[in-house]
Structure 1
Amino acid sequence: MKKSALATLVLAALVSAPSAFAYEAGDIIVRAGLTSVSPNDDSSNVNVDALGGNVGMGVEVDSNTQLGLNLVYMLDSNWGLEVLAATPFTHDVTLIDTADNGLGLGDGKLAEVTHLPPTVSAVYFFDTNSAFTPYVGVGVNYTIFFDEEFTGAREDQTFTDL
């Protein structure tokens, strides 16, 4: 008898809707997860001043995913200010020789860069009385680069700045 009563209570708890609560001014929402930086790296024209401008080469920058932390401070029941922080992102920068320019640089890894992209956004939550709370936001980002290294072969080719 006790087992069937316990089973009934467990089943009722599992199928009942989770209780939802509305956000209020002053609430702080903390979320953690994966954050991805996927650069738009469409660069088919690399200019090298010492060689007279466009050298018929491009660069590609790979994507990177890291741990991220979001903090949202609710201004009222719908509006909030969000701050995104993450562990540092590292990207490989690859040189793509798109033309036979006779420079002999070839394709391959050009450099590696590391950065942090702190972001502040204004967000609007549509329905804060539900367990599912979709939202939209707009924000600003200031990317901080703190480690830029050319690969050994590229240093020998006298590359100096990214």
Structure 2
Amino acid sequence: MRNIAVPAVAAALTIAAAAAVPAQAEKAAGDLLVRGRVIYVQPDEGSNLKLGTTAIPGKASVDNSTVPELDFSYFFTDNIAAELILGTTHHHVKAKGSPLGASVDLGDVWLLPPTVTLQYHFNPKGKVSPYIGAGVNYTIFYGDDPGAALGIDYDNSFGVALQGGVDVALTDKWSLNLDVKKLWLNTDVKVNAGLPALVNAKVDLDPWIFGVGFGYRF
């Protein structure tokens, strides 16, 4: 909870400070809003492990990551926009509590989850404009390093996304953005640990993504 509370408090203080600035960035049909964010990715993972076809104890553990992100929102109407979210994250993976050991290093992997959401903006002409969104993502795993394993393979997969956020006008073009997303995504992982059979894992990553950044409206 501490990982969630600190960004939330910082976001609240930032909104309060921005609210004192007299500005208004009106969103309108045909506008393109480009944002740069820093995001904090916190996986909410769950997993099932098998040795061949036999279930074994243990779970996968994926660490958090902080990275830059770029996104583009196009407004079809004053209230409705589509957002394309681009970013890539790097994670360290372990298997914990399995017959392979208390904590086995499964190396590193990069995730590229391009995501498209359809948003509704509640107050597009106002200084403070909250929004909600929902959409889909396709997660690509690449650049994997197997760590202590002899080899590891991740399957790419589709998932769904929910989103909520707020834009706070700083000038008629610039705005502060705070954003939270929940992604539901999973992957099938095959690990060559030097055993007679592969270790198979179904891993639900399901990350929370907390973002803060600035937008410019064209």
User: 1:21 offset after TM fit, Å?
Assistant: 4.0
1:124 equivalent to 2:160? Answer no
User: 1:119-149, CA deviations, whole angstroms, 9 ceiling, x for partnerless residues?
Assistant: 1010110011211110000011101111222
Largest Rg, 1 or 2: 1
Deviation by residue 1:75-114 (Cα, 9 ceiling, x = unmatched): 011000101111x21111111115xxxx453313222111
Q: Number of matched residues?
A: 139
* Percent of paired sites with the same residue: 28
Contact 2:28 2:124 in 1 (8 A): no
Give the Å deviation of 1:35: 2.1
Cα distance change on mapping 1:144 and 1:104 into 2, 3 Å: closer
State the secondary structure of the residue aligned to 2:44.
Answer: coil
Stretches of structure 2 that go unaligned for 5 or more consecutive residues are: 1-19, 151-191, 202-218
The alignment's TM-score, normalised by the length of structure 2, stands at 0.57
Q: TM-score, normalised by structure 1?
A: 0.75
Q: Whole-Å Cα distance in 2 between the matches of residues 28 and 144 of structure 1?
A: 27
RCO higher in 1 or 2 (8 Å CA, sep ≥ 6)?
A: 2
Q: Which SS does the other structure have where 1:106 is aligned?
A: strand
- Look up the match of 1:146: 142
The equivalent residue for 2:29 is 25
Comparing both structures, which one devotes a greater share of its residues to strand?
Answer: 2
2:176 aligns with none
Q: Deviations over 1:29-65 (max 9, x none)?
A: 111111233222122x41111xx51121211111212
Superposition map of 1:85-124 within 5 A = 85-86=86-87, 88-97=88-97, 103-124=99-120
More helix by share: 1
Please give the root-mean-square deviation of Cα atoms over the aligned residues, in Å: 2.4
- Between the aligned partners of 1:94 and 1:105, the Cα distance in structure 2 is 10
